[in-house]
Structure 1
Amino acid sequence: MTQTLKTKVLIIGAGTGGYVAGIRCGQLGLDTVLVDGGDGLGGTCLNVGCIPSKAIIHAAGKFETVAKAAGDGTLGITASSPAIDLSQTVAWKDGIVRKLNAGVAALLKKSKVRVIKGWATFQDAKTCRVETEDGPITITAEHVILATGSEPVELPFLPFGGDVMSSTEALSLDAVPGRLVVVGGGYIGLELGIAFRKLGARVAIVEMADRILPLYDKALTDPVAKWLTDHGVELHLGARAGGFGDGKLSITTKDGEPVQLDADKVLVTVGRRPRTQGWGLENMGVAMAGPFVKIDDRCATSMRNVWAVGDLTGEPMLAHKGSAQGEVVAEIIAGHDRRFDPVTIAAVCFTEPEIVSAGLGPLDVAGRDDVITAVFPLAAIGRALAIEAGEDGGFVRVLASKADHRLLGVQAVGQHVAELSNSFAQMLEMGAVLEDVAGVIHVHPTLGEAFHEASLRALGHAIHI
C-alpha cells in the first residue's frame, strides 16, 4: 500500500545544497521533507568527494614526509623506511565520513526535518513517488527544491568497472596501485594523481589540452607542473585516451603517435555532469540551460515554486555554492527578500602546491589597460620558509582597477594557500580597495602577509621585496 504525505517543502537530494536548505527551512519553521536517494547525507562532497579526498591527500602528505626522513633524512629528522596499509587509511577516512554523516543527521533532526531514504521519481512538478525499504511513498509539496547534484562523466570507450575507476572507487582502494594512469588533467585527476604518487604509485596523466588545469592561467599551474616533473609523473599533454585491456591503456600523443601505457588501474576524471536522469525531471516542465536546470537570481526555475540549487544549476560546480543557494531558497520560501548574486565564488585546487582563485584573473582582463596586477612571492614570507612552503614558486597575486583601486581578483599558488581563500573572497565580496587590504594589520608570521604585501606592491610600496 502506498503511503501519502503532504509537506510545505520537499527537497530532493541530501548533498551540501539539499541538507543546508533543509536545515535552514527547519530553522525558519517550515514543514520540510528531505529525500536522500544518492550517496547518503552530505552527498558527493561528504561521502565520495571533497572530504574523503582531502583525507587521503592528507595521509599521502604525511607518508611523503616520513619517506623524506628515511635515508639521508630531512630537517635533521631521520626515520626507517615507511610502509602504508591503504586499507587502514581508507578505514580511517571512512570513520571521518561516518562521523560527519551522523553530524548532518543530528542537525536535520534538530531542525525537525523529516529524512526519507529512497529514490524519488516525479510524476509532475509537485508530486513524486519515493521507493523506500518499507514501501512506496507519494509526496506532494507546495515548494520543491531540486538538489540532485552531479555524477562523474563516463567515457564510452572506458566504461567504469574493474580496473577503470571514477574518483569514487579511487577513494576506496585497499592497496596502492603499482601503476596508475589518470585520464584528465583537471583538479580531481591531479589531486588524486599527486596523492597516489606520494604514496608510491608510478603515475601518468593523459590530458587532451596542451597543459594541465587548462581553466587556470599558466602562472598558477606552472608550480604544479614542476612538482609533477620533479616527482617523475609522466605527462602526456595534447593526448587522447583510447581503450584499456591486458594492463595497457592505448593513447594517441599530440603528434598522432599510438602509445601503450602500462596501467594496473585507470582513473577517469574528465569532468562531472548534472544528475538529471532517472528521477522524472522531464515530467516537471522546467526550462533547461543546456545540460543544466535554468534558474534566475532567486534560484527559481520556470515552474512556479520549484527551485534548484547546486551542481544541477551549472558552473561553478562547487559545494559551497550549493550551500549558499540552499540558504537563499529557504529564506525566500519563508518570505524573505533574497537574491543569489555573489561577487565571487572562490575555488581551490588541492594539488601540490595548492591553487586558489577568486574573482577575475589575467585571462579575464587580457588586453585591458585599466587593471593593476601585482605579484608577491611566498619566498619572501618568513612563515612560508619556516614551513618549507617558500621554494616551489608560490605567490599571491592581486588585480585591481587603476581608476579606484577596487579589487577585481586575487589568486595564489603555494602550500597551504587554500586557507587564504576565504580572506580573498571576503575582501572581494565587501568591495574592498587595495588600501583596505594594505590598511589591515596582518598577523606575523603567517602566509596571509603575502596578500598584504601584494596589495602594497600594487600601490607601489611593498616592504619586503
Structure 2
Amino acid sequence: MNTETCKLLIIGAGPGGYVCGIRAGQLGIDTIVVEGNKPGGTCLNVGCIPSKALIHAADEFAKVAHFTGDNDLGIATATPTIDMAKTVAWKDGIVKRLTTGVSGLLKKARTRTVSGNAQIIDGKTVEVATAEGPLRITCENLVIATGSRPFELPFLPFGGPVISSTEALDLQEVPQKLTVVGGGYIGLEIGTAMAKLGAAVTVVEAADRILPQYDAELTKPVLNRLKALGITLHLSAKARGLSEDGNALLTETQDGALEIPSDKILVTVGRAPVTQGFGLDDLGLTMNGPFVAIDDHCATSMRGVYAIGDVTGDPMLAHRAMAQGTIVAEHIAGQPSVWDKRAIPAVCFTDPEIVTVGALPGDIDGARTALFPFAANGRSMTMERDDGFVRIVHDPETELVLGLHAVGASVSELSGEFALAIEMGATLTDIAATIHAHPTLSETVQETALKSLGKALHI
C-alpha cells in the first residue's frame, strides 16, 4: 500500500476544506486535501453557484417576456423561448471554470490534493480509495469538512419524479408542473426561477407562512411576488407521498386531502450533515445532535481533530465554512485565531432578495426598529423595482446597531456593508454620517439610520 504523511489532512474540498487548504499552504503547513468528487463542494458544483446561474437565466427570460406586452419603457420584442440544455451547459461552464480555479489556487499554495474516497482509520490515519489503489495517509492534524446533503423524506425518496435541488439544477427542460415541498429559501429560489421560465409551480409548506426563519414583515414582499408570478401556495399543509401512478403529490391541507398533479416534485426540506460512511463514528467524538461539536478553534473533543462547515451545524453557509477553515489553518500555525465573529450575513436569493445580519426585531429586549422603503429611493425607481425596504435594529440608549436587514431587488449586494457595520460595532451616527453615493440602493442604509435618529431627509 502506498503511504503519505503530512501535518494537516483535510477531508473534503468544499468552501471550508479548500479555503483551509489554501490558507494552510500559505502558512507553510504541509497539507493534503482529500476529495471524492470535484473541488468546490456542494456550493460550487450543485448549490450556490449553479442556482444563481439558473436564477439569472430566469430573470433574463422574464425581462424579455415582459417586453412582449405593453410596458412603461416602450420596449417591444418577440415572444422568447429557452433552450434549457444550452442554459445548463452555460451553467456547467461557469462551474468548471471555478472548480479549475480552486484546483489552481490549492496548487499555488503548494497544498497537495488526493482524489478519492476517504475512510478514517483513527484520529491520525486515513485510507483513501484512489484510482491507482489504496493510499494510507498519516497526519498530525485532521479536519472534517464533509459538508451536507439534501434531506430525504422517507415517504418521498429521491428518484423518478421526486428530485432534490441537485437534479433540479440539471434539468434539460422546464417541467410543465413543478411541485415544491418546502417553502424555505432553496425551494423558493428554484421554484421562482422555474415559474419565470414558464412552469406551473405549486409550493407545499408545513408552516403557516413561507420562509419561517424570517419575520412576516421581511417575507411579505416575497409573498406578494410569488402570487404575482402565479405560484400556488399551500401553507399549513403536509406532503404525504406519491399517488399510485406517480403523477401527483398527495397532500394534507387545512381543507382536507389534496392531490397535486406534478411532472416533477422538488423536495427541499433542509440539509443533513454528512457524518456517515467514512469512519467518523469510530472516533467517538462529542456530538451536538447530528452535528460534530466544536469549540471556538473549531476543535472537536479529540485532540488534533477539527471540524468545519455544515457538519458543525447551523447556519449552513459557505462563507461561515470559509471563515472556519481560515481559523483552523491559522490556529494550527500557532497564530491567535479564534471564532469571535459578531454576526454572519444570510442571504435569500428569492425575488425580491432578503439579507439579514444580526438581531431581528424582538430578539433583544428594549431594542428599537426603524425602516426606510425603497419606494422613496430614486435608484429603485429607475430599476422598476421599488418594493421592499432596509431596516435597522438598534439600542436606543447607545445607538449601537444590533441588526440590519433588507428585502428588495439586488439587496444581497448590501450584505457586506451590513456585516461590516455589525462587526465593527457601528452606531446609528456612524452610518448616518457616512456619505453614501447617489443614486444607489445603499443610500437607503444611511436614510434608515437618519430616520432612527429622528433626522429623516427623504421621507
Show the 5 A alignment for 1:153-192.
153-192=151-190
SS of equivalent residue, structure 2 residue 113: strand
Residue 372 of structure 1: how far off its partner (Å): 2.0
Equivalent position of 2:319 in the other structure: 320
Give a deviation string over 1:102-153, Cα, whole Å, max 9, x none.
Answer: 1001000001111111110111111111111110101110001110000000
Aligned equivalents of 2:363 and 2:212: distance in 1? 14
**Native 8 Å contact 1:151 1:272 kept in 2:** yes
Query: CA shift at 1:26, angstroms?
Result: 0.3
Q: State how many pairs are aligned.
A: 457
Whole-Å Cα distance in 2 between the matches of residues 72 and 457 of structure 1?
A: 38
CA distance in 1, matches of 2:308, 2:456: 42
Secondary structure of the structure 2 residue equivalent to 1:200: coil
CA distance in 1 between counterparts of 2:239 and 2:2 reads: 49
- 1:249 is aligned to 249
TM-score by length of 2: 0.99
Q: Does 1:406 align with 2:400?
A: yes
3-state SS, counterpart of residue 62 of structure 1: helix
Alignment-derived partner of residue 424 in structure 1: 418
Contact conserved, 1:185 with 1:212, CA < 8 A, in 2? yes
* 1:297-376 alignment runs, 5 A limit: 297-365=296-364, 368=365, 370-376=366-372
The alpha-carbon deviation at position 403 of structure 1 amounts to 1.4
Correspondence 1:381 to 2:354:
no
SS at match of 2:242: strand
Equivalent positions of 1:208-219 (< 5 A) are: 208-219=206-217
Question: Which residue of 2 is the match for residue 93 of structure 1?
Answer: 91
SS in 1 for 2:175: coil
Q: Please state whether the residue corresponding to 1:41 is helix, strand or coil.
A: coil
> Aligned with 1:317: secondary structure?
coil
Partners in 2 of 1:231 and 1:289 — Cα distance? 41
Contact 2:148 2:310 in 1 (8 A): yes
Q: SS at the partner of 2:450? A: helix
Please list the CA deviations of residues 347-381 of structure 1 after superposition, one character each: whole Å capped at 9, or x if unmatched. Answer: 0000000000000001413xx3x212100000100
- Return the letter of the residue paired with 1:101: T
1:67 aligned onto 2:65: yes
Matched residue of 1:362: which SS? coil
Q: Secondary structure of 2:368's partner?
A: strand
4+ residue runs over 6 A deviation: none
Amino acid at match of 2:48: C
1:239 deviates by 0.3
TM-superposed deviation, 1:452:
0.4
Identify the match of residue 436 of structure 1 among 430, 449, 455: 430
Q: Give distance in 2, aligned partners of 1:341 and 1:448.
A: 27
Q: Gaps (5+ residues) in structure 2?
A: none
One-letter code aligned to 2:372: F
Instruction: Tell me the alpha carbon deviations over residues 138-190 of structure 1, each in whole angstroms, 9 at most, x when there is no partner.
Output: 11100011100000000001100111100000000000000000000000000
The alpha carbon displacement at 1:415 in A equals: 0.3
Moved more, 288-297 or 73-82: 73-82
- Counterpart for residue 389 of structure 2: 395
- SS state of the match for residue 235, structure 1? strand
> Is 2:138 the partner of 1:140?
yes
Secondary structure in structure 2 of the residue aligned to 1:60: helix
Amino acid paired to 2:194: F
The one of 213, 226, 229 equivalent to 2:227 is: 229
What secondary structure is seen at the aligned counterpart in 1 of 2:20? helix
Q: CA–CA distance in 2 between the matches of 1:23 and 1:126? A: 21
1:2-41 matched pairs, under 5 angstroms? 2-38=1-37, 40-41=38-39
Counterpart-to-counterpart distance in 2, 1:335 and 1:400: 37
For 1:276, give the aligned amino acid.
T
Structure 1 residues 390-447: Cα deviation after superposition (integer angstroms, max 9, x where no partner) = 1x2x000001101100000000000000000010000000000000001100010100
Contact 1:286 1:302 in 2 (8 A): yes
Alpha-carbon separation, structure 1, partners of 2:217 and 2:16:
33
What SS does the corresponding residue of 1:180 show, helix, strand or coil? strand
Name the CA distance, whole Å, in 2 between partners of 1:327 and 1:320. 11
Match for residue 259 of structure 2?
Answer: 260
For the 8 Å contact 1:9–1:145, the answer to whether it is kept is: yes
Give the 3-state SS of the residue equivalent to 1:7 in structure 2. strand
Q: Could you tell me how far apart the structure 1 residues matched to 2:234 and 2:411 are?
A: 27
Matched, 1:275 2:277: no
SS at match of 1:162: coil
Secondary structure of 2:54's counterpart equals helix
How far apart are residue 74 of structure 1 and its match?
Answer: 5.1
| 1:211 CA drift (Å) | 0.2
Letter of the aligned partner of 1:285 in structure 2? G
Look up the equivalent residue of 2:249 and give its one-letter code. L
8 Å contact from structure 1 (residues 86, 173) kept in 2: yes
What's the secondary structure of 1:192's corresponding residue?
A: helix
Contact 1:178/1:202 (<8 A) preserved:
yes
Identity over aligned pairs, percent: 56
Report deviation, 1:59: 0.3
Q: Answer whether contact 1:372 1:399 (CA < 8 A) is retained.
A: yes
The yes-or-no answer on 1:193 pairing with 2:187 is: no
Does residue 451 (structure 1) correspond to residue 445 (structure 2)? The answer is yes
> Which of 117, 120, 124 matches 2:118?
120
SS state of the match for residue 412, structure 1? strand
Contact 1:14 1:34 in 2 (8 A): yes
Quote how far apart the aligned CAs of 1:244 are.
1.6
Return the offset for 1:332. 0.4
Asked whether the equivalents of residues 123 and 304 of structure 2 are also in contact (C-alpha less than 8 Å), the reply is no
Aligned partner of residue 83 in structure 1, secondary structure: coil
Which TM-score applies when normalising by structure 1? 0.97
